[in-house]
Amino acid sequence: MSGNDPGVCLVTQPHRERASKDHAYDLAEIVAEITAVTVVTANLPADSALRADHEVEEYSTGGAGTNVVAEALRFVLNQFRLCRLLFRREEAVVLFFGTTSYLLPAAFARLTGKTVLVLPRGDVPLSLRLRWEESMPAPLARALAGAVSVLERVNYRLADAVVSYTPSMATQLGLGRYENKLYTSGARFVDTEQFDVHRPYRQRDRTVGFIGRLDVEKQIPKLAAATQRLPEDIRFVFVGDGDYRELLEQELAAEIDRGSVELVGWVDREAVPAQLNRLRLLVVPSHPTEGLPTAIQEGMACGTPAYATPVSGVPDLVREGETGFLMDSTDPDEIAADIEAILDRDDLETVSEEARSLVETEYSFEAAVQRWRGILEDVGGHP
């Protein structure tokens, strides 16, 4: 890093999750290899790896709020706080990661001569709508989510550059209209040493599973119904915690008792590779709310192919019959039938090897740094 290195402010959302190395941490690690980085966030746990390994500025110690009204008030207040914080920062580049609807600080950064990049983590309006529909009338949830979508679109127009993880993600989010400033190579990386093939694929049992948050975005009720339709020689493992944990315990009580379903619960990130190495297939029936599900990337690094919905950036990573398998439908009967058919294929070991190879080649830390170096050089954020 040279003395006149402009540096990057990485603005992230208020933290909701347990203290661990998350998406923002991974992105900070990439940028830190290229230039100085300061993470600007809120409600960061005291033992966060971000706080330990990077310079952090908090614009608030409060979370996002416990209901829609509180969320809205916090959302507005946080934008004013961000403007005040950015005013005294000297970094030349502000990268809004996931904070795609933070219009006031993005406009303020542009007015003060900073270069503004916007990187969506996924379809935020859809994610909010799905969550809000569980606690309010659907028309109101759609209207509020629509307002967030409008803020996003204005922000995309305002930004100097818009970045997506992959080309398919850009298409899913309708970012093609910004093609003159669109970069479709902003995918994160997988630690291919931590996430590796520790158990050879041929030695794994007929065990499939899901790893992630047990929430509305993952279509957990449909996945639970699909597990009930699987033959007894296929074991299904749920790893994670969330709003649907109780539903799984109730709906799958009989399967849990006879051992065909296992609820592992939440595990530390360090324990995820061992869970992935148990599986012959990772099942990910996501809504198109995520940009590029981390579980799929990490699973492929462990030689575990994914069977996933072809949403957002997934088709760029899960290539049908080569590195994984794409769902034609999220109907429980079809999911169960497809899982059984996939496990009966005689080329699964080859698919496993190709999945690992793709991650090593295109989604390693070194590859991610190279991609982001090109982006920052192109927008003038790195000498």
Q: CA 336, 271, 205: angle at the middle one, nearest 5?
A: 40
Distances (CA, A) of 318 to 74, 165, 170, 354: 38, 14, 16, 10
The 10s digit of each residue's pLDDT in 279-317 is 999 999 988 788 888 999 999 999 999 999 999 999 999
Q: What is the mean pLDDT of residues 223-230?
A: 95
Domains and CATH numbers, the chain: 8-189+364-379 (3.40.50.2000), 201-362 (3.40.50.2000)
pLDDT of residue 329: 93
pTM summary value: 0.88
Q: Average per-residue pLDDT in the chain?
A: 91
Residue 16 C-alpha from the chain's centroid: 14
DSSP 230-297: S-TT-EEEEE--STTHHHHHHHTHHHHHHTSEEEEE---GGGHHHHHTT-SEEEE---TT-SS-HHHH
Please report, for residues 77, 122, 325, 370, 378, the alpha-carbon distance to residue 25 in angstroms, rounded to integers and kept in the order given. Answer: 24, 17, 29, 17, 23
Better-predicted residue by pLDDT, 62 or 60: 60
**202 Cβ contact list (under 8 Å, min separation 6):** 349
CA angle 15, 96, 16 (to 5 degrees): 10
CB 280 within 8 A of CB 307: no
Q: Is the pLDDT of residue 68 over 60?
A: yes
The amino acid at residue 322 is: E
